[in-house]
Structures are given as C-alpha cells and as structure tokens.
Amino acid sequence: MDSKLSSCSADACRVARSVILEVDLRAEIYPISMEHDIVDKLKLLCLSSEEKGEVSLEEIDVFKSKKECERSLLGKMFGSKKPNFAGLRNTLLNIWQTKEVFSVREIGQNLFQFVFASQEDKLKVLGGKSWSFENQYLILREWYDNILDHVESFTSVDLWIQVWNLPYHWITMETGRKIGIKFENILDVLIPKLGSSKGRCIKVLVEIDLAKPLLRETFIKLREESRWVDFKYENLQGFCSYCGVVGHLDKLCQKKRDDTKKNTLSGDNLASG
Ligand SMILES: [Zn+2]
C-alpha cells in the first residue's frame, strides 16, 4: 500500500475521532446531519483489525430501550425556531393531562421523544387534536425502529377548515365530502345544525401537508350556477401570508426578502438607466 496514502488515512482517522470526541463533550445533542457526515467520513477510512471486529448484542441488551420506545411518540416541531425545552415540557404536561408523568428527550434539531408510562397515555395523546407550541406545530408519530430515517417526510397535520361563500341550499355533507377531496385526506365533515348561529359554512377535518402552500379557495359549480368558495383554517399556527406556507411568519419569510431585494435592485437599475 502507498505509505503516503496510508499515513493520510491514519491522520484522517485521528481527525474524525477527535471530531466525535469534541461533539460528545460539548453537547449531548447534535444535528443528525453532522452525525451522518461523520459516519460517511469514517466509511472512507482504513479500519484496524480491532475496529473491524464486531460487537454482538443480544435482545436482552436492548430490551429496556425497546420497551420504552414502544411506549413513545416522536415529536417534530414544524418550523426553524428552537423551542424552549423546559417551556415545552411544562406546557405539554399541563395540556396532555396523562394519568402518569411522561418524560421528554431532545434527540435532534427540533426533534423530541416523549416516553409515556403506558400505552394508554400514549394513545390518548396521539388520538388528540393537532398540537402546537410557540406558533409551531408539533407533529407526532408513533415510534417504530427506523423512524429517524423518515423524519423529513413528517409534514402533515389534521386541521379543521371552514368553507365559506356557499349558497345556503348547497350546504350538505355530500358537498363537504367533495370539497374535502381537494386536500390530502378527508377525515370528517360537519354541517351546521338547525338553529345554529354558525349556519353559513361547512367544516371539514382534513389532513394537510404543511410543506405545500395552503389552498385559499376553490371553484365549484352545479349545472349553470358556479361559485368561488373560501377556506378559513381554524387555529392556524405560524402561517406566512406572503408565500402561503406554514413554518414561519411574514417577517421571517426568505421569499419576501428575496423578492424585496430583486425589486430594489430592478428599481435601482431603472433609476440609473
Ligand atoms: Zn413566507
């Protein structure tokens, strides 16, 4: 083997080890992307015979952790703002009202594991409504073995949407179900009861993909009669009215900043031309 190459690999190995050591010492939590970077770098290195020798585990070695994971939920904050950990824990302890106290671990960037004392407590929380904290949705998923490989795809929540501007005689369950098809997944439809003061809109509970711009309206027709209907999202959190997506407010919108910059630049060009 080329001695220069071999020596470079050994150096790289030392560097990679020191990176891991530094990360371990500085914080218990570090971004998963950094973890992957380190693993990728190590794959390129020559391993010593000691390193190549595998460590065999028995089921009993991971039994306790597996049982905990089975009683847990993964929670992903949808947005870039890092929540206050103690504030999140205390707020959820108050609103979830589980029979026994649950524990929370921060396991990545805006990523948490909630470990419950029982399946009953876990399913109670999972079966509840959409949760949010500090204007960001907390997306919950039941734990499974490779869940951390799929975190990026967890972008949907269940939301109630009011459908306004319908002719009164079109307000039926069937109309609600057909309009609900516009969304990812329709879960429920409510039409106003006779005598209700909120008698002018249909409500649909739908699964929404927060990674896509929200629908604001749609066009419906019955023979020659047609109408634009408006969607109003109940308790919408962290919505940017500029680009129409959830996860940041207008003042933090990158698209708005980019557009403003472009307009300023084109304005400058016009002025100088
Ligand atoms: Zn925006």
Specify the CATH number for the domain of residue 188.
3.30.70
Predicted local distance difference test score (pLDDT) of residue 176: 94
Residue 34 alpha carbon to ligand 1 centre in Å: 27
Same domain, 163 and 148: no
Same domain, 148 and 166: no
| Total domain count, the chain | 3
Predicted local distance difference test score (pLDDT) of residue 1: 43
Predicted local distance difference test score (pLDDT) of residue 243: 87
Predicted local distance difference test score (pLDDT) of residue 116: 97
Predicted local distance difference test score (pLDDT) of residue 27: 41
Same domain, 41 and 77: no
Look up residue 187 and give its amino acid. L
Residue 215 alpha carbon to ligand 1 centre in Å: 15
Instruction: Indicate whether 253 belongs to any domain.
Output: no
Instruction: Indicate whether 265 belongs to any domain.
Output: no
Range of the domain at 168: 156-236
Instruction: Indicate whether 37 belongs to any domain.
Output: yes
Predicted local distance difference test score (pLDDT) of residue 52: 78
Same domain, 161 and 92: no
Residue 116 alpha carbon to ligand 1 centre in Å: 36
Residue 109 alpha carbon to ligand 1 centre in Å: 21
Predicted local distance difference test score (pLDDT) of residue 18: 43
The pTM is what? Answer: 0.72
Residue 187 alpha carbon to ligand 1 centre in Å: 28
Low-confidence ranges of the chain (pLDDT < 70): 1-36, 38-39, 42-44, 194-199, 265-273
Predicted local distance difference test score (pLDDT) of residue 252: 85
Instruction: Indicate whether 243 belongs to any domain.
Output: no
Residue 189 alpha carbon to ligand 1 centre in Å: 30
Instruction: Indicate whether 254 belongs to any domain.
Output: no
Residue 214 alpha carbon to ligand 1 centre in Å: 12
Strands (E), the chain: 72-78, 103-108, 111-115, 131-133, 136-142, 156-164, 185-190, 202-209, 217-222, 225-233
